[in-house]
Amino acid sequence: MSRLCLLAVAALVASTACSGNGDSAATSVVAQAVSIPTTEPAAPTTVATTTSSSSSSTTAAVTTTTTPPVDVEATVREAVELAQATFSACLVAMPTCDPSTLAVARAGDVLERNSARIEEWNALGYTVRDREAFRYVIESVEVDGSGAAATVTVCIADGSRLVQPNAAPDGSDVIVDDEFVSGRTAWELRIDADGVWRAFDTAPVGESASEDVCGAG
């Protein structure tokens, strides 16, 4: 911050003085005294000196922009949520899901595996019903010291059904897989080359179960 001070001082002083006199003259033999008026010197006229000063200060505002710290754990959680949401949307869109839509939140091995599975199920004409019976809980997030990688434990409980739509003789869906499954998975996330957090790999943690083993989300 800079501070600027200006001081202006103005002084005006004026002083004037006036005085005058006359000569005497004789007009006859007899000397006649002539009274000569005399004007006393006028008292000096003094103009009061006025001194004025003004002082002003102008403070220049300095704007400081501070970038708030990034909440890495919150960002990682958002990446997992996006990965789950885009995969669910793709399953419901089968058999016409575009696997490339998964790349927004997946990369590496997990993207290759999931894309291959979607392509396979698209080719078979499958789709997923009752996806609202699927839920997940993010149980823990561990960010490594670099701040660029994280391990997330996710518990899923899946009651949705994989079907071949309208394939039965009566026009109903043929059930391909309607088994309820629940279990935990470790997700490995990293900051990708474009600065976005994505899941690069997943691996099961422990055994799966036929009942819901996930706590409240």
Q: What is the pTM of this model?
A: 0.68
Instruction: Judge if 96 and 121 occupy the same domain.
Output: yes
Q: Are residues 80 and 52 in the same domain?
A: no
The answer to whether position 66 is within a domain reads no
The answer on 103 and 49 residing in a single domain is no
Per-residue pLDDT tens digits of the chain, which is 217 residues long = 333 333 333 333 333 333 333 333 333 333 333 343 444 444 444 444 444 444 444 555 555 555 556 799 999 999 999 999 999 999 999 999 999 999 999 999 999 999 999 999 999 999 999 999 999 999 999 999 999 999 999 999 999 999 999 999 999 999 999 999 999 999 999 999 999 999 999 999 999 999 999 988 6
Q: How many domains does the chain have?
A: 2
> Based on the domain organization, do 187 and 105 belong to the same domain?
yes
Q: Are strands 3-16 and 134-143 parallel, antiparallel or unpaired?
A: unpaired
